[in-house]
Every structure is written in structure tokens, then in C-alpha cells.
């Protein structure tokens, strides 16, 4: 199933694909050099490519997102939902709670805090459609829009890739790589040059996307330290925080899924549940519940309009492209990595159970999360506590401004710092692990030195570009890959559908 012309390259890194390993590492070095030496030119180049895609093919990205949602719902309720992602008799390796913790920590994590207050409050103050600013209608709409971006659309993209990789790996016996998903349309040719290109793009998007998120997450940690201590955090101190993070996620990645990644993911969610419960109890509880019920009811009616809203007349001054279409790109650029990692931990589950777990459970949790954190911020804004002014200066400040309205705010800040650190570590170690899997030709247990190599690559890219101001440019480059993956994912669905027809049910 691997290209026969490829030589075995066995060393301390195990058996690996040299084209992907050396090609990506050289490209990573080039990105770092470009970001350091010519950051403005780098930003302009990547910014133009992203704008070109978002401005001209937003409709295609929107259609793709709808296809992924429909595909996930259809396959879960179809006769194929009973198929096991594995051989008959295979059982899940992890409890449902641990499985949920790992997939959620990998797929979302730190964004809960970064945008938990920021996005709902932004749309409350400046709704793009369907409501007037600073009204109860815009409060409900704000939660609907936020949950559209972080709910079913995002997790449908992740679930689509994860399901198809799982199907071909555990049911058809193929390597745990994105290229295996094309077996239904290409056969053995999916492991030739075409497959190498697909896997190359997957690792590149993973390193770029996760490095960006880690770098931006560290900036939130920086603000957290300043908020807690009043100290103006220098670049040296930021580098120290980054090194602590690098050590944490490298050690947990190297220790494997059943040790470091598993325990760290469980730890993440225990803390997140604790903070969520605290804000619910000590925040405006009745308002939160009533707003959640209202927004759920209205979203059922508004969702088709919101997800398909492309604004061809630009009545929202570019809102659709800078928010929704940008999110579609971002989700699809992350889908190969998140889907690949979720596939790695999903052997033995039925297709229906997989969709319920990857699509259903996260949607419920994110809806509750954004309602409690975002709803609390909106309530305070309605009642004279000006969180918006603070957040307008620095988006990362939103959650800290909310904490100041609650008891033991500084203790909450310390807990948040720890949770941000562990969430970032979980995203990074999951990315390092799956990158290692792909480079190691789909081996489900890549060598420890290979995992450490990719951990260091992700960390160095994030650290250097964060210090030189190149993170936004790297994010643009990663997002630009989303359009390519949207096409790839549609072909993957066709490939799986062809194979499903061969199943005897």
C-alpha cells in the first residue's frame, strides 16, 4: 500500500517518508526565515492569497460546509450507522468520557476562552443582520452566530475527515493517513505521488495551523500574567512561558496517547467543567438559562439563513467574508489534523456512535459554554458594566473583564492560566503525534524521536513568529489551505460512498 519505488528509511525515526519529512522541514525553515527577515512582505503575500480565496470562492466553501453537515447526519441515521469502525468484535479503546475529552481538547480547547466572551459580545454590540444592536434580540442572535461558527459546521468538518480515515484504516486495513481515504476512487494509486502530495499538505497545514494557535494562545497567557500581577511581561518572560509549554506538550506527546495525552485531556475538561459551573452559579443564572432556551429555539428557524448568508450586495460591509467564510476556511484547514487524531482514538466504535460523539456531544457543550460565558458578558454589558470597551482594545481581555464581575477573580485567573497552558499543550501534542503518524507512513505508533522532532518544529515556528510578529501571516497561509482541503474532503466522501456500496448489510 506504500509506493513500491519508495525505499525504506529506517533510523531513530523509524520507517518514514523522506519526501514529506525533509520537504516540510525545509519549508518550515523557509517560513521562519521569511517571517523573521521580511515579515511585512510575508504578511502581504499570505494576506493576498487568503483574501483572494475568501473574496472569490466563499460560495464554494459555504456549499462544502453544508455538504459535510448533511453527510454526517445522513450516514448516522442510515443503515450504515451500525457498521463498526474496525473488524467484528473490536471494542473501543477508551471510555466515552475520555474519548470526548481527547477529541474536544484537540479540536477546540483554548478557543473556548479566547472567543467565549469575545465573539458573543461582538455580535451583540454589532449584529450583522436580523436584530438591532444592544437588544435582547441581538443577544440571542449573538449566541446563534457564535454557535453556528463553533458548533455543527466546525464539528461536521472534523467528523467527516475523522470518520472517513477511521473507515479506511480500521475497516479496510489501510494506513492511518489522509491519502488512504482516496482508495475508493484511486485504488493503489492513492499511495503514489498523489498520496504523497495530499499527506504533505496535511502535515504542512497542521504545523502552520497549530503553531499559529499555540503562538496566539501564549499571547493570551501573557495578558493573563499581566492581569494577575500587574507586571509588563517582556519577550524574555514570554519565551520562558513558551518553553514551559514546549516541554509540557513534548513530554506528553512522547509518552503516547494512553499516558500523557489521555491524562492531560481529562485534566483539561475537569478544570473547564469547574470554571463553567462556577460562572453559571455565580453569574446571572436565570438570564443564562432563558437566553439559551430562546437562542436554541430561534436558531432552529434561522440556521438555514445564517449558514447560507453570503451577502452578495455587501450590506454588512464585508462581515460575512471576515467572519463566516473565514471560519469555513479555518475549519477545513484544521479538519485533516483534528480528524486524523480523532480517527486514531476511535477504533471499535460504530459509525453512528462516532457521529454522535464527534458531532453531538461537542455541539451541546459549546452551546452551553458560549451561553454561560458569552451570556454573562452580555448581561453585564446590558446592566452598565462596560466589558466591551476593555475587549475592544484587546480581544484577549474579554474573559478577564468578566472575571472581575465575579467572586475570587484572581483565583479564577490562576486556574484559567493553568487551563490555557494544558489546552494549548493538548492541541500541540495531538498535532505532533498525528504529523508523526503521517510521516511514518501511517504507523499508529510512530517512534518517540519522530514525535519529539515535530513537537520542536511546531514550537519553534510558533515562538519565533510570535516574537517577530509573523503569526498573522502564518495564520493566513494556513487558512488559505482550507479551500484546497474543501475539495479534497468532497472527493473523500465520494470515495467512502463507493466503498460503502460494497458492504453487505
**pLDDT confidence tier of residue 55, bands split at 50, 70 and 90:** confident
312 vs 220, higher pLDDT:
312
User: So what's the pLDDT on residue 9?
Assistant: 56
Cell of 113: 476562552
Of the candidates 147, 129, 146, the one whose C-alpha atom is nearest the C-alpha of residue 138 is 129
| Mean pLDDT computed over every residue of the chain | 89
* 213 has a pLDDT exceeding 50: yes
How many other C-beta atoms lie within 10 A of the C-beta of residue 49? 16
User: So what's the pLDDT on residue 4?
Assistant: 43
* 5 has a pLDDT exceeding 80: no
Which position has the grid cell 472581575?
Answer: 404
* 406 has a pLDDT exceeding 80: yes
User: So what's the pLDDT on residue 373?
Assistant: 96
What pTM, to 2 d.p., does this model score?
0.91
174 vs 483, higher pLDDT:
174
Interval 303-327 mean pLDDT: 90
User: So what's the pLDDT on residue 98?
Assistant: 93
Three-state secondary structure call for residue 446: coil
472 vs 126, higher pLDDT:
126
CA 369 to CA 280: how far, in whole Å? 9
Interval 349-372 mean pLDDT: 94
Burial class of residue 501 (count of CB atoms within 10 Å of its CB; 0-12, 13-18, 19+): exposed
User: So what's the pLDDT on residue 474?
Assistant: 67
211 vs 418, higher pLDDT:
418
247 vs 160, higher pLDDT:
160
Percentage of the chain exceeding pLDDT 70: 96
* 171 has a pLDDT exceeding 90: yes
Interval 470-485 mean pLDDT: 74
Of the candidates 430, 122, 145, 435, the one whose C-alpha atom is nearest the C-alpha of residue 299 is 145
User: So what's the pLDDT on residue 79?
Assistant: 94
CA 396 to CA 108: how far, in whole Å? 16
233 vs 184, higher pLDDT:
184
* 23 has a pLDDT exceeding 70: yes
Interval 438-461 mean pLDDT: 89
User: So what's the pLDDT on residue 470?
Assistant: 65
Interval 330-350 mean pLDDT: 91
* 81 has a pLDDT exceeding 50: yes
150 vs 301, 358, 409, CA distance in Å? 18, 13, 27
Q: What is the pLDDT of residues 94-126, one digit of tens each?
A: 999 999 999 888 877 778 888 899 999 999 999
What's the length of the chain?
A: 505
434 vs 146, 164, 459, CA distance in Å? 28, 16, 15
User: So what's the pLDDT on residue 31?
Assistant: 79
User: So what's the pLDDT on residue 504?
Assistant: 84
Domain residue ranges in the chain: 10-500
DSSP character for 184?
A: H
Q: What is the pLDDT of residues 256-293, one digit of tens each?
A: 788 888 899 999 999 999 999 999 999 999 999 999 99
Of the candidates 454, 395, 456, the one whose C-alpha atom is nearest the C-alpha of residue 122 is 395
10 vs 331, higher pLDDT:
331
CA 463 to CA 437: how far, in whole Å? 24
User: So what's the pLDDT on residue 476?
Assistant: 72
Cβ pair 366, 152 in contact under 8 A = no
Which of 115-119, 218-222, 368-372 shows the highest mean pLDDT?
368-372
CATH classification of 10-500 is 1.20.1740, yes or no?
A: yes
User: So what's the pLDDT on residue 368?
Assistant: 95
CA 61 to CA 329: how far, in whole Å? 7
CA 266 to CA 263: how far, in whole Å? 5
Which position has the grid cell 513530554?
Answer: 251
Amino acid at each position: 500500500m506504500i509506493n513500491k519505488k519508495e525505499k525504506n528509511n529506517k533510523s531513530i525515526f523509524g520507517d518514514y517518508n523522506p519526501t514529506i519529512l525533509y520537504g516540510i522541514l525545509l519549508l518550515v525553515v523557509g517560513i521562519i526565515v521569511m517571517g523573521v527577515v521580511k515579515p511585512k512582505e510575508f504578511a502581504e503575500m499570505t494576506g493576498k492569497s487568503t483574501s483572494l480565496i475568501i473574496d472569490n470562492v466563499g460560495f464554494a466553501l459555504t456549499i462544502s460546509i453544508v455538504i459535510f453537515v448533511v453527510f454526517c447526519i445522513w450516514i448516522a441515521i442510515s443503515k450504515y450507522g451500525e457498521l463498526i469502525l474496525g473488524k467484528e468484535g473490536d471494542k473501543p479503546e477508551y471510555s466515552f468520557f475520555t474519548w470526548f475529552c481527547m477529541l474536544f481538547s484537540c479540536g477546540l480547547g483554548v478557543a473556548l476562552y479566547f472567543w467565549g466572551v469575545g465573539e458573543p459580545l461582538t455580535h451583540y454590540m454589532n449584529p450583522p443582520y436580523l436584530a438591532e444592536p444592544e437588544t435582547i434580540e441581538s443577544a440571542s442572535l449573538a449566541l446563534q452566530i457564535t454557535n453556528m461558527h463553533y458548533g455543527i459546521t466546525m464539528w461536521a468538518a472534523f467528523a467527516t475527515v475523522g470518520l472517513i480515515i477511521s473507515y479506511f484504516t480500521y475497516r479496510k486495513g489501510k494506513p492511518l493517513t489522509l491519502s488512504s481515504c482516496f482508495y475508493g476512487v484511486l485504488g493503489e494509486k492513492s499511495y503514489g505521488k498523489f498520496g504523497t502530495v495530499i499527506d504533505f499538505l496535511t502535515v504542512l497545514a497542521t504545523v502552520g495551523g497549530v503553531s499559529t494557535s499555540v503562538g496566539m494562545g501564549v499571547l493570551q497567557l501573557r495578558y493573563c500574567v499581566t492581569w494577575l500581577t500587574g507586571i509588563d511581561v517582556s519577550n524574555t518572560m514570554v519565551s520562558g512561558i513558551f518553553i514551559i509549554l514546549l516541554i509540557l506538550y513534548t513530554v506528553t506527546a512522547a509518552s503516547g496517547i494512553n499516558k500523557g495525552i489521555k491524562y492531560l485531556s481529562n485534566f483539561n475538561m475537569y478544570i473547564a467543567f469547574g470554571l463553567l459551573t462556577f460562572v453559571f452559579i455565580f453569574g446571572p443564572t436565570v438570564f443564562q438559562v432563558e437566553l439559551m432556551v430562546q437562542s436554541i429555539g430561534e436558531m432552529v428557524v434561522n440556521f438555514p439563513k445564517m449558514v447560507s448568508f453570503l451577502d452578495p450586495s455587501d450590506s454588512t460591509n464585508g462581515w460575512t467574508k471576515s467572519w463566516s467564510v473565514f471560519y469555513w476556511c479555518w475549519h477545513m484547514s484544521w479538519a485533516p489534523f483534528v480528524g486524523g487524531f480523532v480517527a486514531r482514538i476511535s477504533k471499535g466504535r460504530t459509525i453512528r456512535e462516532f457521529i454522535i460523539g464527534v458531532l453531538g456531544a461537542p455541539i451541546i457543550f459549546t452551546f452551553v459554554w458560549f451561553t454561560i460565558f458569552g451570556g454573562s458578558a452580555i448581561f453585564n454589558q446590558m446592566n452598565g458594566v462596560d466589558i466591551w470597551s476593555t475587549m475592544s482594545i484587546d480581544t484577549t481581555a474579554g474573559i478577564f473583564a468578566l472575571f472581575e464581575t465575579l467572586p475570587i477573580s484572581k483565583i479564577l485567573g490562576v486556574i484559567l492560566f493553568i487551563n490555557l497552558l494544558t489546552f494549548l499543550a493538548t492541541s500541540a501534542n495531538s498535532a505532533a503525534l498525528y504529523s508523526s503518524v503521517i510521516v511514518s507512513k501511517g504507523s499508529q505508533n510512530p517512534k518517540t524521536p519522530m514525535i519529539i522532532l515535530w513537537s520542536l518544529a511546531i514550537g519553534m515556528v510558533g515562538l519565533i513568529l510570535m516574537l517577530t510578529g509573523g503569526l498573522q501571516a502564518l495564520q493566513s497561509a494556513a487558512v488559505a489551505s482550507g479551500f484546497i482541503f474543501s475539495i479534497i474532503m468532497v472527493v473523500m466522501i465520494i470515495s467512502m460512498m463507493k466503498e460503502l456500496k460494497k458492504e453487505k448489510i
